[in-house]
């Protein structure tokens, strides 16, 4: 039973991660502030269109962290506790986003609108790259040691310890992690452009977004293919469920895709949806491009994250001692905890239905200049 619960909760946590990447279209839209957006009216339209959704990204990030803490606490303490400079940088960039949306147009703010717009741009560019780098560590691992018996030590009751002073910042210079960060940034920017096309009623801005999407969307597809090649040719680490012994396996993640089959089907469907969604924008009005491309991103990201730990794979490798790497079997909560949480997760469909209802209510009217000029409308 514990085996099934561990895999079930990895599915749930990684699905949250996949939705997080999709919802980062908000960050992608913010990266346009000093790009295709050329005047204050266009800037206000973009920021207010995104302002209806920014809480969803922040909430999903917090929920992802909470779900990881509850289901795989050893990963949470090792990564969030050890690589804290990386995670603190990410958290800081999301905090300044929240502050910027609230105070950008507040009367009498001493920093000025330009400062808050710069904060939004930093969150949309650097924030997405760093979050992608953090996701990349699922595959590249980190510089830590793990000893469960140390919890009994009176002097230092800490299971995992980081072995260098960089505390996660070293992950940025790992080529795979950096490539993952660039892919996440381009995915967010692509979805941000598609959201502008879908939700803003200003022909000049929409036309600029349609021109830009041909560059950004193509770059996203190319870098994603490069990421897949890198992932499928790298060495992964296989763990024996019986003994817990971990061994390196070349092409491990490619084998995970082909041996499990269903993640590879998800990946192929996701890629096809992304290509179809982008093509509808390239060659037609692209009425449903945002949701088609977004759905493809969710499927593709979810399939990759599943293969990070399924099929007896170590999902957070210790670069100091591979036998101390984290797996689904040695990092999860107890069977009782996972079972209670599984019952609670039955309410997730109702939460998603509510989110879908709120989403539809907030986006039923396109953002336009007349909408901005309404005296009773909330403006960011």
One digit per residue, the tens of pLDDT, for the chain of length 380 reads 888 999 999 999 999 999 999 999 999 999 999 888 888 888 888 888 888 888 888 888 888 988 899 999 999 889 888 888 999 999 999 999 988 888 887 777 778 888 999 999 999 999 999 999 999 999 999 998 887 777 766 666 777 888 888 988 999 999 999 999 999 999 999 999 999 999 888 888 889 999 999 999 999 999 999 999 999 999 999 999 888 899 999 999 999 999 999 999 999 999 999 999 999 998 887 778 999 999 999 999 999 999 999 999 999 999 999 999 999 998 999 999 999 988 888 887 887 788 788 777 777 777 777 666 666 566 77
Q: Which pLDDT score, from 0 to 100, does residue 109 have?
A: 78
**DSSP string across 40-71:** HHHHHHHHHHHHTTHHHHHHHHHHHHHHHHHH
The pair of structure tokens assigned to 175 is 């080529």
Q: How many domains does the chain have?
A: 1
Question: What's the burial of 339, exposed, middle or buried (CB within 10 Å: 0-12/13-18/19+)?
Answer: middle
Question: Does residue 53 lie within any of the structural domains?
Answer: yes
Q: Which pLDDT score, from 0 to 100, does residue 75 have?
A: 92
Assign residue 117 a region (left: φ > 0; alpha: ψ between -120 and 50; beta: otherwise): alpha
Q: Which pLDDT score, from 0 to 100, does residue 362 have?
A: 72
Q: Which pLDDT score, from 0 to 100, does residue 346 have?
A: 86
Q: Which pLDDT score, from 0 to 100, does residue 299 have?
A: 97
In angstroms, rounded to a whole number, what is the distance separating the alpha carbons of residues 363 and 333?
Answer: 39
Residue 378: how many other CB atoms lie within 10 Å: 8
Residue 171: how many other CB atoms lie within 10 Å: 26
> What is the sign, positive or negative, of the torsion defined by CA atoms of 319, 146, 253, 19?
negative
In angstroms, rounded to a whole number, what is the distance separating the alpha carbons of residues 100 and 51?
Answer: 10
Whether pTM exceeds 0.85: yes
Say if CB 10 and CB 310 are below 8 A apart.
yes
Domain extent at residue 268: 2-373
Question: Does residue 378 lie within any of the structural domains?
Answer: no
Q: Which pLDDT score, from 0 to 100, does residue 264 have?
A: 96
Q: Which pLDDT score, from 0 to 100, does residue 156 have?
A: 66
Task: Find the helix or strand (DSSP H, E) in which 246 lies.
Answer: strand 246-250
Report the relative pairing of strands 144-146 and 246-250 from DSSP bridges. Answer: unpaired
Question: Does residue 230 lie within any of the structural domains?
Answer: yes
Q: Which pLDDT score, from 0 to 100, does residue 159 have?
A: 79
Question: Does residue 380 lie within any of the structural domains?
Answer: no
Report the relative pairing of strands 235-239 and 246-250 from DSSP bridges. Answer: antiparallel
Radius of gyration over alpha carbons of the chain, in Å? 21
In angstroms, rounded to a whole number, what is the distance separating the alpha carbons of residues 221 and 187?
Answer: 9
């Amino acid at each position: 039973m514990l085996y099934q619960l561990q895999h079930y909760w990895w599915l749930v946590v990684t699905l949250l991660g996949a939705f997080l990447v999709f919802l980062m279209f908000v960050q992608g839209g913010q990266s346009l502030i000093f790009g295709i957006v050329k005047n204050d009216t266009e800037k206000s339209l973009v920021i207010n269109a995104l302002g209806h959704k920014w809480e969803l990204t922040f909430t999903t990030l917090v929920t992802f962290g909470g779900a990881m803490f509850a289901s795989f606490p050893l990963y949470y303490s090792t990564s969030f506790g050890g690589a804290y400079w990386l995670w603190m940088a990410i958290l800081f960039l999301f905090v300044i986003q929240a502050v910027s949306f609230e105070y950008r147009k507040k009367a009498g703010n001493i920093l000025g609108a330009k400062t808050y717009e710069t904060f939004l741009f930093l969150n949309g560019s650097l924030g997405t790259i760093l979050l992608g780098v953090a996701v990349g560590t699922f595959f590249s691992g980190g510089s830590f040691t793990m000893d469960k018996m140390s919890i009994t030590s009176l002097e230092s009751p800490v299971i995992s310890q980081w072995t260098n002073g960089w505390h996660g910042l070293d992950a940025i210079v790992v080529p795979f992690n950096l490539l993952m960060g660039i892919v996440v940034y381009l995915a967010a920017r692509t979805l941000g452009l598609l959201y502008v096309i879908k939700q803003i009623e200003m022909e000049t801005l929409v036309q600029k977004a349609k021109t830009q999407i041909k560059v950004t969307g193509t770059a996203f597809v190319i870098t994603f293919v490069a990421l897949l090649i890198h992932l499928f040719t790298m060495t992964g680490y296989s763990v024996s469920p019986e003994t817990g012994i971990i061994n390196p396996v070349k092409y491990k993640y490619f084998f995970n895709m082909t041996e499990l089959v269903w993640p590879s089907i998800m990946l192929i469907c996701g890629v096809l949806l992304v290509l179809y969604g982008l093509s509808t924008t390239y060659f037609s009005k692209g009425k449903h491009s945002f949701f088609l491309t977004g759905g493809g991103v969710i499927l593709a990201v979810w399939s990759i994250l599943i293969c990070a730990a399924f099929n007896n794979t170590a999902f957070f490798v210790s670069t100091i001692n591979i036998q101390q790497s984290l797996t689904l079997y040695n990092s999860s909560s107890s069977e009782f905890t996972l079972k209670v949480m599984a019952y609670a997760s039955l309410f997730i469909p109702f939460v998603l239905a509510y989110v879908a209802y709120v989403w539809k209510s907030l986006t039923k009217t396109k953002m336009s200049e007349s909408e901005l000029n309404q005296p009773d409308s909330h403006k960011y």
